[in-house]
Chain A
Amino acid sequence: MASFSTTATLDEPLVYRGDKGGAPPSFGGGDDGRSGPGLPDYPTRLRRARLGLLVALTPVLMLFVSFTSAYVVRQGLPTIDPRTNQLVRDWIPVKLPALLLVNTIVLLVSSVGMELARRQTRLAAVAAAARPAGGASASVEGKTPWLAMTIALGLLFLYGQWMAWKQLAASGFYVSTTPSSSFVYLLTGAHAVHLMGGLVALLVAGLFTLLHRSVTTRSIVVDVAGWYWHFMAALWVYILLLLEFAK
């Protein structure tokens, strides 16, 4: 098991206690949470996948932190108007379409569904992992298709975002109209792209169900996608608050 202990740190000098020639390298077995040579067990794989997701969310966060700092700087920084030799700011706040609130609710509800799907699959995986090998991989999960519901709501959200863009354009705010409108399109667009990535993961999980892949693998995919989905929902709320209140 990977440990963070610092026993026998290098500040302490070693005392060589062997009296023979250098001992051959010592090996232990099954230490990496393995139940057999080569393949880690379910808890290890889940932990590793979750750690990977946590790490992966960091650059996603940095991308939006970077966009936010560009937003703040662009909003506040004046430039010289060459006609008057005066410093001016050209930030005109954008009126956000009310549809965005509806989309937000859709996304939050989908997050609920996602969480239920995640727990549902996880319970099934834990049960499957506890069973002796050779048990059928047919699902013993509940009947409610939470995963399908989440995918549907996710698609509905993206459709709603597309509609919101059209509303913005209809009111005269295109991507290049004002710096504020540029950021609205940029932030919502970047979020939507990342959400689509999450949808792909959910579709893959759905595919695994249809193909009767192992429930432990499916559970890991759904678990990681689930936490990713919640992050995307939280990120969306943040973007909305930024665009609405940091005008």
Chain B
Amino acid sequence: MGLVLLAVIWLITLIGSYFIVAKTWWLPVGASAAAASIDHHFTVSYILMGGVFILAQLALGWFVWKYRDRGAAAAESAHYSHGNTTLEAVWTVLTIVLFVGLNLASHSIWAAERIDPAQPGAVQVEVTGMQFAWYFRYAGPDGKFGATRPELEDASLGGAGALGLDSNDPASKDDVITGVMVVPVNREIEVILRSHDVIHSFFVPAMRFKQDAVPGLAIHMHFTPIQTGEFELACAELCGLGHYKMHGIVKVVSQEEFDKWLAEREAEKQ
């Protein structure tokens, strides 16, 4: 029985380790400036924690077999001991150093991503989630987002209607609202997250970006795409029956293409 248990535990550990090492399913290729440092920290954590997992499981399986009761024939009884305080102290300190050290090592990345605000000159995009679609708003040449009024909301009228854009506000005249998020590469993008109804969450895996969009708040976050292409986004906070289909696209293009695209959208509004 001890041998069977050892075999089962070791086999599970072995198979698990295979997938750990082979990275059969892994994070998608990182397309933002932060991805490299985040992924590096992930790998470090992965190696350390993976190592702990493997060692602990192997030890468990080994002990269970080695110290099995071999029946009345075996002379040796169990070793009577209530513990070893020195050993306790040693592995407590080691664990603290490992866990807390690992976490503190990530602080600079966290600060750069979330604590430090966007640089001036970042491209501002207001991202609004509502049941069950994402809308992206660009402030236009005046650099100001126009006022919205909840009473004016009417999704059947398209983007501006969905946001309840107040056409009486001069600042809203040049606001561009789209269903696809287009951004220029190698520029810092400041997203301003909004919601009209319930909590949604803006998740772009390739950018290693996730942030809840909370009604009543305008949350400022930033990321810097470093690769052109189309990257999927999906809602990452349960928001109702359509949660599973609240997805979209982030299109990263060159600066020229972005300027051209934005100018075309502005022209459409005239």
Q: Which residues of A contact B (CB under 8 A)?
A: 10-11, 13, 79-80, 82-85
Cross-chain contact A85 with B82 (CB below 8 angstroms) = no
Instruction: Specify which chain A residues have a CB less than 8 angstroms from the CB of B82 in the assembled complex.
Output: 10-11, 13
Do A82 and B217 form a contact, CB below 8 Å, given A10-B82, A13-B82? no
The answer to whether B80 touches A82, judged by C-beta atoms less than 8 angstroms apart, is no
Are A80 and B80 in contact, with the CB atoms below 8 A?
A: no
- B149 in contact with A82 (CB, 8 Å): yes
Q: How large is the interface on B (under 10, 10 to 19, 20 to 34, 35 or more residues)?
A: 10 to 19
Residues A79 and B217 in contact, CB atoms below 8 Å apart: yes
Residues of chain B within 8 A (CB-CB) of A13 are 80, 82
A-B contacts, CB under 8 A, total: 25
B164 touching A80, Cβ below 8 Å: no
Cross-chain contact of A85 among B147, B150, B164 (Cβ < 8 A): B147
Contacts A11-B82, A13-B80, A13-B82 given; does A83 touch B148 at CB 8 Å = yes
B216 and A80 within 8 A (CB): yes
Distance in angstroms between the alpha carbons of A77 and B72 in the assembled complex = 71
Residues in B neighbouring A82, C-beta threshold 8 A: 147-150, 164
Interface SS majority for chain B: loop
Query: Does B188 interact with chain A (Cβ within 8 Å)?
Result: no
B218 touches A80 (CB 8 A): yes
For B80, the chain A residues whose CB sits under 8 A away are 13
Instruction: Report B40-73 residues with CB < 8 Å from chain A CB.
Output: none
* A79 neighbours in B (Cβ, 8 Å): 216-217
CB of A85 within 8 A of CB of B145, answer yes
Instruction: Kindly list chain B residues whose C-beta atoms are within 8 Å of the C-beta of A80.
Output: 194, 216-218
Residues in A whose Cβ lies below 8 Å from that of B164 = 82
Assembly CA distance A85 to B192 (angstroms): 11
CA gap between A244 and B80 in the complex, in Å: 64
Q: Offer 22 A-B interface pairs, CB within 8 angstroms, sorted by A.
A: A10-B82, A11-B83, A13-B80, A13-B82, A79-B216, A79-B217, A80-B216, A80-B217, A80-B218, A82-B147, A82-B149, A82-B150, A82-B164, A83-B147, A83-B148, A83-B149, A83-B166, A84-B147, A85-B145, A85-B147, A85-B148, A85-B218
Residue of B nearest to A11 (CB): B82
Contacts of B166 in A (CB 8 A): 83
CB within 8 Å of A: which B229-257 residues = none
Q: Residue on B with the closest CB to A77? A: B216
Interface centre among A13, A79, A83 (most CB of B within 10 A): A83
Q: Bound complex: CA of A85 vs CA of B137, how far in Å?
A: 14
Closest 5 CB pairs of A and B: A79-B216, A80-B218, A82-B148, A83-B149, A10-B82
A13 to B150, CA, bound (A): 74
Give Cα distance in the complex from A83 to B83, angstroms: 66
- The residue on B at minimum CB distance from A79 is B216
Query: Which residue of chain A has the shortest Cβ distance to B164 in the bound complex?
Result: A82
**Nearest A-chain residue to B150, judged by Cβ:** A82
User: What is the distance, in angstroms, from A22's C-beta to the closest C-beta of chain B?
Assistant: 15
How far is it, in angstroms, between the C-alpha of A117 and the C-alpha of B203 when the chains are bound?
64
- Which residue in chain B gives the minimum CB-CB distance to A84? B147
A83–B169 Cα gap in the complex (Å)? 10
In the assembly, what is the distance between CA of A11 and CA of B84, in Å?
Answer: 10
Distance, CA A10 to CA B83, complexed state (A)? 10
Closest to B171 in A: A85
Q: How far is the CB of B80 from chain A (nearest CB, A)?
A: 7
* Distance to closest chain A CB from B107 (angstroms): 26
C-alpha gap A13/B81 in the complex (Å): 8
CB proximity of A159 to chain B, nearest CB, Å: 39
What's the nearest-Cβ distance from chain A to residue B127, in Å? Answer: 14
Nearest residue, chain A, Cβ from B192: A85
Q: Please, what's the 1-or-0 string for B75-89, where 1 marks a CB less than 8 Å from any CB in chain A?
A: 000001011000000
CA of A183 to CA of B164 in the docked complex: distance in angstroms?
A: 32
Give bound CA distance, A80 to B219, whole Å: 10
Query: Bound state CA distance, A196 and B232, in angstroms?
Result: 57
A80 to B, closest residue via Cβ? B218
Q: In the docked arrangement, what's the CA distance between A82 and B80, Å?
A: 70
> In chain A, what residue has the closest Cβ to B216?
A79
Within 8 A of A (CB), among B134-191: 145, 147-150, 164, 166
Docked pose: A79 CA to B217 CA in angstroms: 6
Report which residue of A79, A84, A85 has the largest number of chain B beta carbons within 10 angstroms of its beta carbon. A85
